[in-house]
Chain A
Amino acid sequence: MNLPVLALNLALAIAIAPLLDGLRRKITARLQNRVGPPLTQSWHDIIKLLRKETVLPEGAGLMLRVLPALMLMLSLAMFAMIATVTVQSPMDEGGIIFIELAVLSAFMFAIAGGMSGNPYGVVGGSREAILATLVEPSIIVSLTALLLFKGSLTLDDASRSLAFGGTLVVAAVAYLLSLLVESGRVPFDVAEAESELTGGYLIEFSGPPLAMLKLGQFIRATAMYSVPKLFLTALIPVGVTGDAFSIAVTALYMVSILLCTLLVSMAESLNARYRLLEASKFYAVVLIFSLLALVIAFYAPGWR
């Protein structure tokens, strides 16, 4: 474990994750011919919440109290696995644990809603659980296919590999489509009931716990946006080594998170809303893509 890099990574996560959310809101507003909030708006929201008092429902149990911090820590742990502005990530391993943390944190939101005892919270949590149930298998399989293709379980080795092939393309498509669902935005959103349904799981949280949940959500999204860097490294020419390679990888990281932010904003602005259970056909297609990537990785060496 590289502690200085870990500290740098975590500081970066806390700094840029709310800014990326601000960027998403700005792009969405521009696409809808609005001015939109400033880029730092999400930061202001979090600071405001941190200054407020904490109010809990009567009889709030242990899990409701621990969950916001747990959510934040899970997201930070995800970010700790990724090489951001350095070529090497702070943790030596990271492939499987990154997948596990991603899936666990997705279900944590569902738990948060169910635990508050509030009917809106329960409905919102239930909705999150359905979404996670439908989309997380695709995330797991597509990321596993990617690691298989790169021939290593460590994210560092995977990002150093410049290999390109059919698995990479199919896994990338599946992962990016899954990201749209993960983001929880339109077409998988309910704009008319934002706080009751889509954000229902947050309804009983306030003050610093809510700030932690929101920050955790932003950091998790940024960590997920970082993964496409592993697909993009295939674009680096084979002869590039040393400092030039480091600069290229860092640049691709920036491209990756900005590209994903743009993709989610555009999907949010340019699509009509799906009904939740209708969207299952979409998820089925995404899962098929993921499985296809895995099958190619194992059985079609020519396509790899």
Chain B
Amino acid sequence: MYQALLALPAFAYLVNRRAARLLLVAVQAFLLVLHAAGFYPMQLQQILVIVVSLILLLDPASNPPLIALIALIGVTPLPGILPLIAMTLLLVIALSARKSHGRAGLYAIVALSLTLILEYSGYPYAGASLVLMLVGAFPFQKWLTDLYSNYKSAGILVAFTAVIYLNENLVAYASVAQLLLFLGAFTTIVGVFQCMISRRFADFLSTIHQITFGILLVSASVVELDALFYYLLLPAALSLTVINSVHDGLGEKTGEGMFGFGGLSSSMRVEAASVLATYMVLFSLVSMVAEVLMRIGVEGSIGFTLLGCAMLFSAAASLAAFFRGYTLIFEGPSKSGVTPGGSLRLAVALVSAGDLLLALVPAWSLIVLSLASGGKPLEFESLNVLLLVMLVAASLSAAIMGGAKPVKFKSWMGGYAGVGDLQGSKGEIFTSWREIFKLVYDFKSPDDGVSGAMERANPLIILAFVAALAIVGVMI
């Protein structure tokens, strides 16, 4: 009952945006107080959803109604009569918000609502449409990029809520575990390939979203990976959320986008730290899951073995593509010569250090949390060795490079590409990737066509169509 309060800010948004934001914070704080007082006991996952949505509200560009609605779904227990009421409210708000908030967010809400209906009606594959859409798998990839272009914070919360939802309902997907496994691996690998050629931050984030979801789907279908979900995926998703929210806020304050001020000033290294931290989280996730899959595969499954091999290769290969792009954008001589003052310099250093600290969360959370819960720590030999290698290498570099002499080569060296150059050209390694995997990249999926048709369709028609399918499914 109490969680229905979360719908209020969405209505308030139609009248006054600032009031909606404040109301949402108040409602969420109220729910947490109720939980602390014992009036409204919530599970850890539900509390996490509220905490994440509070963090996302720090971002001035965030959309309070979307956050409120997704948080509502996240904290609503299934099954029950309340979801139906909540769903009705959601649809009303979504349709009201349609004109001003575009279709991407709208479809996210519709997908979540549909899942609730199907779940309530007892349809066996209730989460299928939600999974496909939230994972950004074919044919929904375009929607995901749109979501990140327009409502990044909502995208993150959708991801987080969906992660929790899916994990809570693993049993419902037991019959399609093999399909989920294939879809998860496929999504992860496609995500890595897309990541290598992404040229906008929205693309970059949506591919990370895809990879995280792919890994989730793999973990959802393998019992042995349950600890991976609680001790790795959740901390990783949280640290990604914090990194992205803080930097969204910074970008908004300075009036520059993610690729904007990082590339234009040699001193503003905050964005570089953010992107590097995000990538480190991603790399930790993919390489750890690769190791787990190979371990399981060696026990007797060629499928897991091949998946593990593919993920291991994708993780390593993504290094080359990522650092090529990273160097082009964030390193090299300053283009603008902006020199921040003392206090800003301190702030930059603190935020950068915070980012890099957050990037280590997934690497250590698995060991720390499993120890804290009294269980045997899961050992990941590759990550431990890699952390040790990086630590020693950094110390050695600091010792040797301290006396390095910088030399200008401007006469014959082109210098580093600026943001415009990067957006205008693909970069050498990206081009190579396209050449080598020409068949993969040339494959024209009907994504655009299908997405276009769906965007033109009225959400209510889609809702009716899927509801009809659900009824047929229940009758069968």
Contacts and interface: CB of A to CB of B under 8 A. Distances in A.
Interface stretch (A26-34, A60-68, A178-186, A191-199): A60-68
Interface stretch (B165-173, B253-261, B370-378, B411-419): B411-419
Interface stretch (A11-19, A107-115, A169-177): A107-115
A53 to B, nearest CB: 6
B291 interface: yes
A70 B323 contact: no
B334 interface: yes
Interface stretch (B12-20, B219-227, B304-312): B304-312
Interface residues of B, number: 61
Nearest to A92: B381
A100 B309 contact: no
Given A96-B294, A133-B317, A144-B294, A58 B331 contact: no
Contact of A115 (B312, B323, B385): B323
B175 interface: no
B324 interface: yes
B429 A65 contact: no
A115 B331 contact: yes
B424 to A, nearest CB: 16
A73 B393 contact: yes
A57 B401 CA distance: 13
B396 interface: yes
A215 interface: no
B407 to A, nearest CB: 5
A296 B382 CA distance: 27
Interface residues of A, number: 66
A144 B316 CA distance: 16
Interface in B388-424: 388-390, 392-394, 396-397, 400-401, 403-410, 413-416
B316 A69 contact: no
A130 B298 CA distance: 29
Nearest to B294: A96
Contacts of A141: 309
A129 B432 contact: yes
Contact of B316 (A103, A134, A147, A299): A103
Interface of A: 53-66, 68-70, 72-74, 77, 93-94, 96-97, 99-101, 103-104, 106-108, 110-111, 114-115, 117-119, 122-123, 125-126, 129-130, 132-134, 136-137, 140-141, 144, 147-148, 153, 208-209, 212, 277, 280, 294-295, 298-299
11 contacts: A54-B404, A56-B401, A56-B407, A59-B331, A59-B406, A70-B390, A73-B393, A77-B388, A99-B312, A104-B316, A126-B429
Q: Which 10 A-B pairs have the closest CB atoms?
A: A61-B331, A59-B333, A69-B396, A126-B428, A70-B393, A69-B393, A103-B316, A54-B404, A69-B397, A114-B324
